[in-house]
Structure 1
């Protein structure tokens, strides 16, 4: 393993291997049919080598089928190669029955040795599958690949296919050339052989981008094209393989640019095509690394100066704070619809009135609180201006009637915008429609702003850096409990934290392949992101069940996939620690499959282009500390099911797991010392911070212990201070739940209400009859004002707790800085 720092990408030596898999036999296979014996065949899936599947022949009516068939794959030495062997029972007239799948890490196969594995499929019936593996290195294939220790980007090549078109179709009927390179970015291309231009015998070129080191093939065939009125279609059934040419691309050198290939014709002479390979530039458009991007580092340097001056003033320090002595303070806001949007406005205004807003370096938000930050950052100097105007503007939209969003004109507008989004390369969905509806409810008109435009508000470090949070989930068949990955958005980058992969924000929505920007699309308007971050309609039933009951026993007992470790002792002895276990997947029965579909389906989710497509997981990805730290799901042990091999991302509201935006602030690279946590939940104001504590404890992330007595759970305070000196790099968390305690009697800190003012203190932030429930998007002016005053009061009433936390953070920073300087001095003396 390369010893280079895992914070950035680096080059690593790699080779290509020739893998031979011989499917020998199986025994005692019972299948699902009661009367007849099974008709078995085996499917082989190795997505890191081949885009499709390979399969054996079917052995009919036999419990002990013998295939003795051999298959060849070309694999990459630094990639995590997991071969899936699936046993099926073929049925005539109905779908084939999936009996078992064995997931086998090819890292278990030593070089230049034959290894025979007997996979136990069912101990009760002594069902087994016998397979032989052989692995040899391909001579002169060693090269260097780009990796960050979690992801690997092999070399990419471009295949050019050129054909000469003619004024007249060279064949008796209208014909097109069908080209396919499975696993490439383009996948397929069709060229009509008749030239409709004014040039005589023009030439057309098709280009395919594909992984150079894998076993990719070009397939070329001729097929007839038929026209019926204005509709043109092809007859796929005429192509039986006899007029098809397959060219293995791994045997072609990039130096060969003029190779002639003949494609058999259905009638007449074969068609000549010309192919050639070129190597693509190594420069990647996906940033691989776990460190902060350069633009954020520059912002931090500029922001530090303002933070240092502000802390010196509010804490009445005698000396200036410099360098590592300056603590990083962050605001964390939960979701909560319009309630969260309203409260975050007033909390930020409260910090400004207290002179503390310029101490803040980051503002992380999720769901409804993102609607506040996206609006504020339209003004490049919002934190240096009085926030009363933005609050009044928000009040105008929150209190207005929303019925107009369903008018005929608005519906026409939505349709037009979604059509334009499709033209711009997006995949329009209900999430996008929801974003347009939010725009109508919360904006004065069409908002042309985009997330990358917010860079102007950070140019001189004049405002905190906004971070928006979502989670990537599986669209179908898998619950959020079993799979979720944090995805953060900033004005600079969008990235999946676990993989250490980021793209420029202005490139979000574009199409990537193997780390390269392949097809640039316009960056989506901010309303589409607001719909994504705050889509309360993307829950599937099992998510709803978990969020309301916190119980997942039904899912675990009846619906969850049945997977078990079937490694034998000899495999365990030769396996390296980075190799994954051999696992057996047994498909669920009909009842469980039906329940699973009902519970996990997300019918109104949208899809986004997967910027990890074409990248692969490193063979030692599990040993990378950053990946382990952000390990979120059981699927992390199944590389073939992780995001790099997915066609699309499915990004949803982060509140489906934990209704908070802590994760981006807990990245060690951001070095956050104090988190001012604003929780806008009505009924469970401590749940999010407790869930975050449990999550961080499990993942080994520095977070203070949240230990509450029964009395504290029943009677909520205005502010909780969570601090733990025993945990390294653990931030101080000041947690402000949405409660109405002393505000009932005090209109300002220390100022009692008069009898006439007592009614203003009756703000209902609990119970089913609260005017601030999640799906209410319209408040009365009185309700808006009272919520605004309540949140500002709670903040101001706990000023001393905030100042104490800031003072403690400064002291810790100075102590660490002095300790580092002493260690450096000692080291210098020794040398």
Structure 2
């Protein structure tokens, strides 16, 4: 949506005086100054002069900003006590919402350091309307993209002194607030380019290399648009270098989709998938009449994480759904952490759900039961190292998750797979499979834990996006570099193993220390599994890691030149970088604030201000892949919740319910009774009869109930078969603990049989839930028609 052009104003900020400021010591009063930062108007932070040795400083200085009233303009004022030796001491910090000002009026404010009001800063504001600005803003009501200008800069030698040594090098060119920042310009090379917001009064600053001497400063607004301007650089007694400057309109089309609706590709898929679902429902429910399009319910499979256990179990349960003829009734399948490994494997085949899953399951079983020692062989380590170098050279940021991704790929495959997320679009062309959605969490790398702040990120073959902001990019562009919604540098699409590394980097916590503290491969595997004996539960690993030993291990030294620090997050270029916030973003109905923190009320601390995303396994918060299914635009009627946790069969689902309650998202109450908690069954139904907007949840915890005595639904085990029904799912001592990367053939077969059985043994409940989903869809349509 484009906003109308009026809204340009001139903000005048007059910093008057302060009184009662504390002293940095008993004898010396403060040396005070005030900084002003308004990033929607300028990249530059302004500051007053310093008033020395004064508890009641007077500045009386005025600063002016050109702003757009459709943006959330928050002026940050900070008072500092200047210190020439140590870092300046902050005295007061305040955010002032410029949107509270009225055009044509002056407003005087006193900001206090504490409730007693003994220390005060006095500031006067004045807002003046400006002639209509030609700038076009594009917004979804939360984020705003502004117009960009591009500046081309080229350097050439001139005059009779072309061999002068002073001109052999280049110069440093800087455009503050541009995407590129500072760049080196050398003679005889192609022009360099800067991109910066058109509305900012930016300027080009040129300095000699390796010096702080500024030889040129050019305001960009002084350059005629679309014309080449030549400027000489006075580096010697006579000009030796000439700069060619060309300022013109930057790219207009956004590469980031700003909107809260589903993308057109997903709408097309759903229309095709409904035909498949309608046919399957008619068959399994034995319906006489064809379902109308608006009567077809949206059914989703929601799988949790859990390492190899989750991957294996998902194969078993999908096989069960296939056997019952129910897989074609599913429109979405979401996964997190280990379950994404199964999804990524299956979607390599465009027709996987239309085939017998025995073949893919056998291939997965072979990988689960193989020895993992060879993945740390010197030849393999060298290959990882080379690919990480190439990836860094392409422009991807280095982080430990990239190494984990390659190791994880070796755990699950014999050879590297050249598969990409966008390749999975082939599996959706005819609606022949459910749409896969993979989940991750974007959080803050420093200061805040995931329980204090986090943002759900969804990955589909069509798009990658953060629904909270209504911002999405095509899946093939994820990882490329963006600014203000425009594509700045396209990078080759990552192999999907690097995305799997992001989706499942919970496991990289142990892996990271194991690599750094192990000298040989067998020591690595010993360290990886050393907590198995004493670990009572599956604890989420801490993000605070030990420092590596002073002498690097033989394994770790392969990567010390690539990994200079040890972050757990998957660092990716931020496709929201540079975007601004709409003035009413916080009141937007689709903007989902994180209830545990006030950070969402301070747009300058949110994701668009960050150059990189900080992506984590969702297991650091809630082990679920449910959030994408709760978007109102997807209208999911029935969720088949496949839970692979060994501890607490309802714990993660209860956390989802609590999260939804906090976020005011329609979701059924998760209230298992005491008997179910003590002895959970294979399937539990949760519904909210008062809300048609809340999906029904059919919850399948990982339990060994009637499977102990039955080899198939209704078929009791013979005495010699009872051992096959004993599956150890305890939280301690289980062969399926999340850090286990190798299963015995017996354990793999038991888990596959158990999970397949648990689905098939609940055929009647599944059919009943599908029948009720059709009725709920009809009832919802009926109520919608009455309204």
TM-score in terms of structure 1 length: 0.85
| Whole-angstrom CA distance in 2 between matches of 1:249 and 1:476 | 36
Question: How far has the Cα of 1:628 moved from its partner?
Answer: 3.8
Q: Which residue among 189, 206, 210 is the counterpart of 1:235?
A: 210
The change in CA–CA distance for 1:165 and 1:265 in structure 2 (over 3 A counts) is closer
Q: Which residue among 81, 92, 95 is the counterpart of 2:84?
A: 92
Question: How far has the Cα of 1:774 moved from its partner?
Answer: 1.1
Question: How far has the Cα of 1:50 moved from its partner?
Answer: 2.0
| Whole-angstrom CA distance in 2 between matches of 1:814 and 1:784 | 42
- The CA RMSD over aligned residues, in Å, is 2.4
Q: Which residue among 111, 118, 121 is the counterpart of 1:119?
A: 111
Matched, 1:179 2:173: yes
Indicate the residue corresponding to 2:18 in structure 1: 26
The change in CA–CA distance for 1:328 and 1:169 in structure 2 (over 3 A counts) is same
| Whole-angstrom CA distance in 2 between matches of 1:113 and 1:295 | 49
Indicate the residue corresponding to 1:533 in structure 2: 503
| Whole-angstrom CA distance in 1 between matches of 2:34 and 2:344 | 52
Question: How far has the Cα of 1:320 moved from its partner?
Answer: 0.5
Unaligned runs of 5+ residues in structure 1 are 1-8, 196-202, 224-233, 541-546, 556-600, 824-831
Is contact 2:692–2:776 with CA below 8 Å preserved after alignment?
Answer: no
Q: Which residue among 54, 57, 81 is the counterpart of 1:65?
A: 57
Is contact 1:511–1:517 with CA below 8 Å preserved after alignment?
Answer: yes
| Whole-angstrom CA distance in 2 between matches of 1:327 and 1:629 | 29
Give matches, 1:752-763, under 5 Å: 752-763=716-727
Larger mean CA deviation between 205-214 and 324-333 belongs to 205-214
Give matches, 1:479-498, under 5 Å: 479-498=449-468
Indicate the residue corresponding to 1:365 in structure 2: 335
Indicate the residue corresponding to 2:186 in structure 1: 192
| Whole-angstrom CA distance in 2 between matches of 1:93 and 1:821 | 72
Is contact 2:595–2:663 with CA below 8 Å preserved after alignment?
Answer: yes
Larger mean CA deviation between 10-19 and 448-457 belongs to 10-19
Matched, 1:811 2:775: yes
| Whole-angstrom CA distance in 2 between matches of 1:460 and 1:31 | 72
- 3-state SS of 1:764 partner: coil
Is contact 1:156–1:211 with CA below 8 Å preserved after alignment?
Answer: yes
Indicate the residue corresponding to 1:164 in structure 2: 156
Indicate the residue corresponding to 2:191 in structure 1: 205
Question: How far has the Cα of 1:651 moved from its partner?
Answer: 0.9
Is contact 1:538–1:605 with CA below 8 Å preserved after alignment?
Answer: no
Question: How far has the Cα of 1:494 moved from its partner?
Answer: 0.4
Is contact 1:177–1:191 with CA below 8 Å preserved after alignment?
Answer: yes
The change in CA–CA distance for 1:468 and 1:631 in structure 2 (over 3 A counts) is farther
Indicate the residue corresponding to 1:699 in structure 2: 663
Q: Which residue among 72, 75, 91 is the counterpart of 1:83?
A: 75
The change in CA–CA distance for 1:14 and 1:752 in structure 2 (over 3 A counts) is farther
| Whole-angstrom CA distance in 1 between matches of 2:166 and 2:244 | 23
Q: Count the aligned residue pairs.
A: 737
| Whole-angstrom CA distance in 2 between matches of 1:760 and 1:94 | 69
Question: How far has the Cα of 1:39 moved from its partner?
Answer: 2.0
Give matches, 1:482-561, under 5 Å: 482-537=452-507
Question: How far has the Cα of 1:168 moved from its partner?
Answer: 4.4
Question: How far has the Cα of 1:259 moved from its partner?
Answer: 4.4
- 3-state SS of 1:63 partner: coil
Give CA-to-partner distance per residue, 1:538-577, whole Å, 9 cap, x none: 679xxxxxx9999x9xx9xxxxxxxxxxxxxxxxxxxxxx
Is contact 1:287–1:502 with CA below 8 Å preserved after alignment?
Answer: yes
Is contact 1:538–1:652 with CA below 8 Å preserved after alignment?
Answer: no
Question: How far has the Cα of 1:269 moved from its partner?
Answer: 4.2
Q: Which residue among 666, 676, 700 is the counterpart of 1:712?
A: 676
Question: How far has the Cα of 1:155 moved from its partner?
Answer: 1.2
Question: How far has the Cα of 1:34 moved from its partner?
Answer: 5.0
Is contact 2:156–2:241 with CA below 8 Å preserved after alignment?
Answer: no
Question: How far has the Cα of 1:66 moved from its partner?
Answer: 1.8
Give CA-to-partner distance per residue, 1:333-382, whole Å, 9 cap, x none: 00001110110010101100111000000000000100000000001111
| Whole-angstrom CA distance in 2 between matches of 1:630 and 1:812 | 31
Is contact 1:214–1:250 with CA below 8 Å preserved after alignment?
Answer: no
Question: How far has the Cα of 1:268 moved from its partner?
Answer: 3.5
Unaligned runs of 5+ residues in structure 2 are 511-536, 545-564
The change in CA–CA distance for 1:15 and 1:271 in structure 2 (over 3 A counts) is farther
Give CA-to-partner distance per residue, 1:82-122, whole Å, 9 cap, x none: 11112222223222222332111111222222221101112
Give matches, 1:260-275, under 5 Å: 261=231, 263-265=233-235, 267-269=237-239, 273-275=243-245
| Whole-angstrom CA distance in 2 between matches of 1:389 and 1:52 | 61
Question: How far has the Cα of 1:817 moved from its partner?
Answer: 3.0
Matched, 1:50 2:42: yes
- 3-state SS of 2:191 partner: strand
Give CA-to-partner distance per residue, 1:166-214, whole Å, 9 cap, x none: 4844866235332211111222232235x5xxxxxxx863322111112
Give CA-to-partner distance per residue, 1:261-316, whole Å, 9 cap, x none: 55554643486544343223422111111111111111111111110000011011
Is contact 2:2–2:136 with CA below 8 Å preserved after alignment?
Answer: no
